[in-house]
Amino acid sequence: MPVALTARLSPVVVLAAAGWALSSGPFATTPATEHKDDQRTGTQSASAPATSAASKAYGAAPAPCTSVAKKTITSLVPGAKTAGREIPSTNSKLRRTCSWNALKGYDYRWLDVSYELMESEDAAEKSYKETVTKKSGGGEVPGVGDSGYSVVNLNTQDKQQTREGVVVIRASNALVTITYNGSDFETKKAPSTDEINKGAIKAAKEAVAALEGGQKN
């Protein structure tokens, strides 16, 4: 069984033996804690000075596990501990992620909230556009941050469906990424596109509000 699958299904290891796959973190290919060298990605170095107040509004990522309301967690991930679990980061000032997952009956849900701060608005905008280009087929999320995008995909393995929604928001020099997915082990069906998309966008709005309500440079 792949490492990413084992990590995601560890709370339900008995059911995991039946065999199904989930993607592994924001935008399905790279775990939140795995990043390229700061110089290559444009991620701000911890010691790098701000280029200007206008180009780098945020200097530290907010606490991701308190960025989404408890009632939202209860609604999106029934049965999950609302405290969440923060994923270790190589630089928690610039990159932070919190995860919630739970199995209620045969219904499984997973939610990730991730923050990444870049060295400037231009660097964040470039990363945002690259992500949107790679993840075509979605649509804009208006009224949240400076730019917003949402995409939902259906994956099937061993007849088990999993539907995953990803929302990425750029707010100044910060990128906020939400990953929300679900599956039903009994019916082998996935939640509807509408349910996953709306859930991911709701979490994104709250996560961006937490960012914007925090301390700015």
In the three-class reduction of DSSP (H, G, I as helix; E, B as strand; rest coil), residue 106 is classed as coil
CA Rg, the chain, in Å? 17
Nearest Cα neighbor of 20 from 134, 144, 186, 139 is: 186
Give the distance from CA 161 to its chain's centroid.
20
Which residues pair with residue 156 across a beta bridge?
Answer: 161
Inter-CA distances, 140 with 12, 95, 149, Å: 34, 24, 4
pLDDT at position 168, please? Answer: 98
Residues 24-32, mean pLDDT to the nearest whole number? 38
Domain assignment present for residue 44? The answer is: no
Domain assignment present for residue 8? The answer is: no
Q: How many CB atoms are located within 10 Å of the residue 208 CB?
A: 24
- Tell me how many domains the chain contains: 1
Domain assignment present for residue 106? The answer is: yes
Domain assignment present for residue 3? The answer is: no
DSSP state of 88: P
pLDDT at position 214, please? Answer: 74
| Stretch (H or E) spanning 129 | helix 121-134
Domain assignment present for residue 40? The answer is: no
Tokens of 153: 């995909």
Task: Please name the residues in contact with 103: beta carbons below 8 A apart, sequence gap of 6 or more.
Answer: 11, 12, 15, 79, 185
Give residue-wise pLDDT tens across range 29-44.
Answer: 333 333 334 444 444 4
Domain assignment present for residue 148? The answer is: yes
Q: For the domain that residue 99 is a member of, what is the CATH number?
A: 3.40.1000
How far is it, in rounded angstroms, from Cα 154 to Cα 167? 15
pLDDT band, very low/low/confident/very high, at 209 (cuts 50, 70, 90): very high
> Between residues 214 and 212, which one has the greater pLDDT?
212
Domain assignment present for residue 60? The answer is: yes
User: For residues 55 and 173, is the Cβ–Cβ distance under 8 A?
Assistant: yes
pLDDT at position 56, please? Answer: 66
Domain span including residue 133: 23-33+51-212
Q: Kindly compute the dihedral angle of the four CA atoms of residues 106, 186, 24, 152, in this order, to the nearest 10 degrees.
A: -110
Tokens of 40: 């290559």
> Between residues 33 and 128, which one has the greater pLDDT?
128
> Between residues 8 and 189, which one has the greater pLDDT?
189
